Amino acid sequence: MTQNARIIALRDDPEIIYLIQEQRFLDVLQNPKLIEAMNDPALAAEVRSFDFQKALDYALGR
């Protein structure tokens, strides 16, 4: 998922970065760029199949 062009664009977007730094997570979720990306069927399928629990366990060193 980290190689997806839409994810990379969101990750590098100054507006998204600012909103996250300011902990304005609702604004991030309502951002048109994020909404457009999540309306991409291929990306939505990638997100649905991603094992978030496994990623969290890895990040926490479990």
**pLDDT tens sequence across 8-19:** 999 999 999 999
- How confident is the prediction for the chain on average, in pLDDT? 92
**Does 32 have pLDDT greater than 90?**
yes
Tokens 């199949």, located at residue: 49
Say which amino acid occupies 24: R
Task: List, for residues 50-61, the tens digit of each pLDDT value.
Answer: 888 998 899 999
Burial class (CB in 10 A: 0-12, 13-18, 19+), 5: exposed
In whole angstroms, what is the distance from residue 30 CA to residue 34 CA? 7
The answer to whether the CB of 1 falls within 8 A of the CB of 37 is no
- 5-29 mean pLDDT: 96
